[in-house]
C-alpha cells in the first residue's frame, strides 16, 4: 500500500496543490494508497524524506518527494497500469507543462489565495505559511488579498494556452486525461478548496474541462469539499 504524505488543514481539508497532482496520478494508475496529513509547520513529521515539502510517497522501500519525481516513479514502477504520459515524448512534453504550472500559474494565483489558506489553518501553521508567502511575494498577506483581483486576472491570462487547446480537444492528453491534465487542474483544485471566490469566469471553456476533471474516478476530486458555493 502506497502512503501519500500531504498537507492537512485544521478542519481536515487536504489543500496542497502539488499533492493533488499525485492523488490524481495514483487514481489514474489505479493504485491503492492511503493519505497521511501533515501540518505545514511540522517538518519533523516529514524529516524521513530528507527535505521539507510535500507531496511525498512511501512505496515499499522507496521514499520519493516532489510531485514530478513521484509521477516518473509511478510510471516506471507500474508500467502495466494506465500510462500517465503515453510514452517518452509525452513525458518530455508533460515536463514542459509542469514547468508552466509551477513557474507561471502557481505564482500568478498564489497571492490571490494566500490569506484564504492562512485562515483555514491553526495559529502555528498560519504563522508559518504567512512567513513563507510574505518572503516569496514581498507583500503582506493582507496586501496580497487586497490585490487579488489583479492576481486572478493575471492567472486567467496565463491560462490562455490551456483555453486555446481545450477548444480543440477534450483533454491535454487528447481524448482522455493524462498527467498534464492533473498538473494543470491542480491550481484550480487548490483555489476551489481554499478560496471563497471563483477564479474562472462563468463562461470559460476551462470551466467545462475542470468539471470533467472533477468527475473523473467517480468524482474523486469533487469529493474534497469546496470552500465556497462554486465548484
Ligand X SMILES: N[C@@H](CCC(=O)N[C@@H](CS)C(=O)NCC(=O)O)C(=O)O
Residues of this chain that interact with ligand X (CB under 6 A) are 7, 16-18, 40, 52-55, 66-68, 132
- Buried/exposed 190-201: b ≥16 CB within 10 Å, e otherwise: bbbbbbeebbbe
181 contacts 21 by C-beta, under 8 angstroms: no
How is residue 135 written as a grid cell?
Answer: 518572503
Give me the least distance between CB of 130 and ligand X, in Å please. 12
For ligand X, the nearest residue by Cβ is 53
Give me the least distance between CB of 51 and ligand X, in Å please. 9
Pick between residue 132 and residue 208 the one whose CB is nearest to ligand X. Answer: 132
* Phi, psi dihedrals of residue 42, rounded to the nearest 5°: -90, 80
Q: How far is the C-alpha of 143 from the C-alpha of 111, rounded, in Å?
A: 9
Give me the least distance between CB of 5 and ligand X, in Å please. 9
Q: Which residue spans within the chain are E strands per DSSP?
A: 2-7, 33-38, 56-59, 62-65
Q: Which distant-in-sequence residues (6+ apart) come within 8 Å of 16 by Cβ? A: 6, 7, 54, 55, 190
Pick between residue 65 and residue 205 the one whose CB is nearest to ligand X. Answer: 65
Give me the least distance between CB of 124 and ligand X, in Å please. 13
Give me the least distance between CB of 63 and ligand X, in Å please. 14
Q: Cell 483544485 maps to which residue?
A: 189
Amino acid at each position: 500500500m502506497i502512503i501519500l504524505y500531504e498537507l492537512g488543514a485544521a478542519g481536515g481539508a487536504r489543500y496542497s496543490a502539488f499533492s493533488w497532482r499525485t492523488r490524481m496520478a495514483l487514481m489514474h494508475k489505479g493504485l491503492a494508497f492511503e493519505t497521511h496529513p501533515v501540518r505545514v509547520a511540522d517538518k519533523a513529521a516529514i524529516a524521513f524524506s530528507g527535505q521539507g515539502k510535500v507531496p511525498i510517497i512511501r512505496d515499499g522501500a522507496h521514499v520519493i518527494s516532489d510531485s514530478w519525481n513521484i509521477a516518473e516513479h509511478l510510471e516506471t514502477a507500474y508500467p502495466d497500469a494506465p500510462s500517465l504520459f503515453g510514452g517518452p515524448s509525452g513525458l518530455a512534453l508533460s515536463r514542459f507543462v509542469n514547468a508552466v504550472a509551477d513557474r507561471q500559474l502557481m505564482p500568478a494565483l498564489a497571492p490571490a489565495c494566500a490569506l484564504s489558506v492562512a485562515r483555514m489553518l491553526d495559529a502555528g501553521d498560519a504563522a508559518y505559511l504567512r512567513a513563507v508567502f510574505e518572503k516569496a511575494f514581498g507583500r503582506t498577506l493582507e496586501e496580497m488579498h487586497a490585490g487579488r483581483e489583479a492576481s486572478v486576472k493575471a492567472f486567467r491570462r496565463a491560462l490562455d494556452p490551456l483555453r486555446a487547446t481545450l477548444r480543440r480537444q477534450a483533454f491535454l492528453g487528447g481524448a482522455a486525461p493524462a498527467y498534464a491534465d492533473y498538473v494543470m487542474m491542480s491550481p484550480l483544485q487548490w483555489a476551489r478548496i481554499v478560496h471563497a471566490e471563483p477564479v474562472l469566469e462563468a463562461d470559460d471553456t476551462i470551466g467545462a474541462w475542470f468539471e470533467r476533471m472533477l468527475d473523473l474516478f467517480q468524482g474523486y476530486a469533487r469529493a474534497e469539499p469546496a470552500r465556497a458555493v462554486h465548484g
